[in-house]
Amino acid sequence: MFHSDTKCELQISEVLTYEVCTRFILNEDFNVFLKLAKKSSFNPNDRENLIKICEFIRINLQIWDFTRGGKSYISEIPFSVLINQITHELLVQINSIVGNTTILSESTLSSIQAENVATIKTDAHDLLLSINELTDLAKFEIGEMLHQTKQIVIKNLLRETIDIFKAKIRNKKINYSTTIDTKTPETIFIDHQKVRYILNNLLAFMTSQISEGKISIKVEPVTINRIRFVLEDDAISLSEEIVNSLFLPFSINKVFDLKNTNLTGISLTLVEKFITFLGGEIKVRAKENRGILFTFTINGEIMSDFESNISKLPKSSPTHNKVLVIEDDYATSKLLNNYLTKWGYSPVVVSTEEQTINLIQKENFLAVILDIELPNINGLELLKKIHEHPTSKKTPVIVCSIEPEQQKAFLMGAVEYFVKPINYNYLVEVLTSYKLRKDSKILCVDDDVPTLNLIKQAIETAGYYAIAESDSTKVMDQIKDGDVDLAIIDLDMPELDGIELIKLIKSDSKFVKLPIIIYTGKESYKQDLYKIDGLFEELLDKRSVNIEDLATTIDSMINRYETPPSVDEVMWKTDVIKILLAEDYKHSQIIVTRLLKKNGFENVVVVENGEEALNMVKKEKFNLILMDMQMPIMNGFEATEKIRGVKEYKETPIIALTAFAMKGDREKCLEAGATDYIPKPIDSKEFIEKVKYYTTKEK
């Protein structure tokens, strides 16, 4: 893609610099030549940033060419489809800009430089908000906007919305109030994300226009399936002309300063579109003296008292995908919500300490994502409270912040730390590593039902799935068609005792490597153990080991799936499938190792950069190489090319793994010498299918 020519006539500077150039072909009549220069030499790790810069420039040039009537390919695409595609590409580039300015702000800068960097970062955040709203607008035009209905408590919705604004106003003397008509049902099924957006943006507009006064929200039923919201203030003074044009695109930019409001020129346009989409309508009028009145209706499924009471009963559905997000910034929370939902997680978004504590008292979560820069509360103190609460003390907390304070967060129990803007691919990998662990299925067998229930409770409290059986003769039928990651078996049972059951389980080729914990209260069992020597991993005595200790042992056994064997252990083995994983990111290592070991690929060697991978293939013959393409010291592209230069590895399958899933990535990986390509976050099913295919082919 990039070329360098020392004799090039186009010079950026008379000072000696290092240069590269590239060319964009926008259409048959329009080519663009681009030259880039820097004071130090380019290295392989610069490639990724150069690609992002060029992609960003190319997209903007195509838009510019299109608007001036150019014959580029985009002129054949409906404009709304074009906007939808381009905004997705722009998000990647803008996130990169925000990330790089964050890194730059941490270096030694003069006061003017620091101010300029801060301005770039603020503008990039504003641009992110605009792009998100432009994406939503395009979805309406191309018919891709979806309903996401959820049961909500109206009182809670209003309180949470108002709390956000109370926390943000500083020198303003604004009194917010809410009124809910007594005939309004307590709960309702609505598209809560869109209703939050509507309320947030109307309140943001009203709050931005006054420095003191009163803003009120009233909710009342219209019909059995229709709700009316009324928002009014007593201070805004607007002309009839302005009022009538509020919902037109970019009309508010002409008369209002939107700086620091979280509003864009199309925010109120989207408000009207969302309300129409939800089956309602909105009206606005200026009051006679001072003030403005917004009235809108939406459709919602109102629950009867009986249905409402039934809905409050405990749910038996698994919580292994539920993630608690604590974030007060709307744009960030929306991005998190969309991305987590896309990857199969169920995000629950809150913005205050009170909401957080209420939720963790009632529900279990796979993980917590915490923004430590919340208004009116120290985020690190909230982290401490989460870990002190009995229901969430073992829940992993992932901290996000615009400031690098990793050391403090880790000391207070955080498991991972992301500096904003968040790398969502890495975030999903962190969650996936926890989900794979929590998806583990544990068989427990004990004829004493109270003890069996205690073991089952210990397993489920630790976040795993329990397969509980009191009749040992039914165990094989229970597990024959499923996966089991660990078994806990009593010895002293009628009909089929624990010794015979363990032999029976281990006789099935599917469970030959299944780890087994014997948990027994039998007094004389040592002689029995000779019969199953080598068939179990742990022996725990019920008389001296309590349920808490058993839970600790369960955690330890499940975590073994994440630990690769030592290099020496793999190297001395013969006639086995050996896999080399080159990956620098800890959670990616955990995911891949766990998936491989759970599917029978025990002999995995893990290295953390391309140089280590190259050295390893010179010492040992592997049947398959899994190569992350973005690594320090030597990246995956360079390592793959050099490994192909080793005689024994001309034909060895190499699967490229990359977290940047940009257009053309697959071709670049194959060009470097990879056999196949898998984008991150990894799809578990696709990954294992490809590993099995290439290892079978290699044999």
Q: Is the pLDDT of residue 310 over 80?
A: no
Q: Please say if the pLDDT value at position 390 is more than 90.
A: no
Q: What is the pLDDT confidence band of residue 313, given thresholds at 50, 70 and 90?
A: very low
45 or 480, which is more confident? Answer: 480
Residue type, 123: D
* 203: Cβ contacts below 8 Å, ≥ 6 apart: 161, 165, 215, 217, 231
As a whole number of angstroms, the distance between CA 666 and CA 400 comes to 31
* Max avg pLDDT among 136-145, 198-207, 248-257, 305-314: 198-207
Looking at domain 438-561, its CATH superfamily turns out to be Response regulator (3.40.50.2300)
3-class SS at 340?
A: helix
The span from the CA of 380 to the CA of 382, in Å, is 5
pLDDT in tens, 333-348: 888 888 888 788 889 9
Domain 314-422, CATH homologous superfamily name and number: Response regulator (3.40.50.2300)
Q: pLDDT higher for 127 or 102?
A: 127
Q: How far apart are CA 213 and CA 470, in angstroms?
A: 67
| CATH code for the part of the protein at 150-310 | 3.30.565.10
pLDDT score, position 317: 39
Concatenated DSSP letters of 607-653: ESSHHHHHHHHHH---SEEEEESS-SSS-HHHHHHHHHTSGGGSS--
**Position 277 pLDDT exceeds 80:** yes
Q: Is it the case that residue 307 has pLDDT exceeding 60? A: no
* For residue 686, pLDDT beyond 70: yes
CATH of range 563-698; options 3.40.50.300, 3.40.50.2300, 3.40.50.1980, 1.10.260.40: 3.40.50.2300
pLDDT of 442 > 80? The answer is yes
Residue whose C-alpha is closest to residue 84's, from 126, 132, 24? 132
Of 112-116, 465-469, 489-493, give the lowest mean pLDDT range.
Answer: 112-116
The predicted pLDDT at position 336 comes to 85
Q: How confident is the model at residue 305 (pLDDT cuts 50, 70, 90)?
A: very low
pLDDT score, position 311? 44
pLDDT at 314: 37
Q: What is the band of 284 on the pLDDT scale with cuts at 50, 70, 90?
A: very high
Per residue in 596-606, pLDDT (tens digit) is 888 888 889 99
DSSP state of 561: G
Comparing 387 with 92, the larger pLDDT belongs to: 387
DSSP code per residue over 118-167: HHHHHHHHHHHHHHHHHHHHHHHHHT------EEEEHHHHHHHHHHHHHH
| CB 455, CB 550: distance < 8 Å | yes
List the end-to-end C-alpha distance of the chain, in Å, as a whole number: 37
Whether the CB-CB separation of 519 and 536 falls below 8 Å is answered with no
Strands 676-679 and 173-180: unpaired
In the predicted model, what is the mean pLDDT of residues 224-240?
A: 86
What does the DSSP 8-state code read for residue 3? B
The tens digit of pLDDT for each residue in 71-124 reads: 554 445 555 565 666 666 666 667 667 666 766 766 677 778 778 777 777 777
Query: What is the per-residue pLDDT for 525?
Result: 63
Q: Which two tokens stand for residue 327?
A: 């974030």
Question: What would the mean pLDDT of 515-535 be, rounded to a whole number?
Answer: 76
What residues have CB less than 8 Å from 461, skipping those under 6 apart?
A: 551
Is the pLDDT score of 489 beyond 80? yes
Count of residues making up the chain: 699
Please give the C-alpha separations between residue 229 and each of 244, 281, 301, 351, 471, in angstroms, as whole numbers. Answer: 19, 11, 16, 22, 58
| Predicted local distance difference test score (pLDDT) of residue 294 | 94
Q: What is the mean pLDDT of residues 406-415?
A: 75
**Which pLDDT tens digit goes with each residue over 132-141?**
777 777 777 7
Q: Which residue in the block uniquely carries the two structure tokens 């943001």?
A: 204
Question: Same topology for domains 150-310 and 563-698, yes or no?
Answer: no
Tokens of 314: 């405990």
> Which residue, among 655, 653, 649, 611, has the nearest Cα to 633 in the 3D structure?
611
DSSP letter for 463, please. T
Look up residue 98 and give its two tokens: 């925000």
pLDDT tens digits along 22-77: 877 766 677 778 887 777 777 666 676 777 777 777 777 766 666 566 655 444 55
pLDDT at residue 663 above 70?
no
Half-sphere exposure at residue 671, Cβ-oriented, CA atoms within 13 angstroms: 6
How do residues 150-173 score in pLDDT, each as one tens digit?
778 888 889 888 887 887 776 788
Give me the residue label for tokens 């194959």. 670
Token look-up 């919705």 returns 157
d(CA 682, CA 678): 7
Contact indicator for 665, 677 with CB cutoff of 8 Å: yes
Check if the beta carbon of residue 266 is closer than 8 Å to that of residue 251: no
The better pLDDT of the pair 496, 408 is held by 496
Give pTM, 2 decimals.
0.47
Q: What is the CA radius of gyration of the chain?
A: 30
Buried b (16+ CB within 10 A) or exposed e, 27-50: eeeeeeeeebeeeeebeeebbbee
- More reliable by pLDDT, 3 or 20: 20
Looking at the chain, the whole-number percentage of residues with pLDDT higher than 90 is 15
More confident residue, 608 or 521: 608
Task: Give the span between the Cα atoms of 368 and 327, in whole angstroms.
Answer: 11
Q: For position 613, what pLDDT does the model report?
A: 93
pLDDT band at 216 (very low <50, low <70, confident <90, very high): very high
Mean of per-residue pLDDT scores for the chain = 80
Taking the C-alpha atoms of residue 213 and residue 491, their distance in angstroms, rounded to an integer, is: 74
3 state SS for 483-514: CCCEEEECCCCCCCCHHHHHHHHHHCHHHCCC
Q: Residue for token digits 């939720």?
A: 359
The DSSP string of 671-685 is: HHT-SEEEESSP-HH
Look at residue 327 and tell me whether its pLDDT is greater than 70: yes
Residue 670: alpha-carbon gap to chain centroid: 28
Q: Which residues contact 479 (CB under 8 A, 6 or more apart)?
A: 443, 467, 505, 511
Q: What is the pLDDT of residue 53?
A: 74
Query: What residue has token string 């607007």?
Result: 238
Ordered by start, the domain boundaries in the chain are 18-142, 150-310, 314-422, 438-561, 563-698
pLDDT band at 579 (very low <50, low <70, confident <90, very high): very high
Cα–Cα distance, 211 to 174 (Å, whole number): 7
pLDDT of residue 441: 87
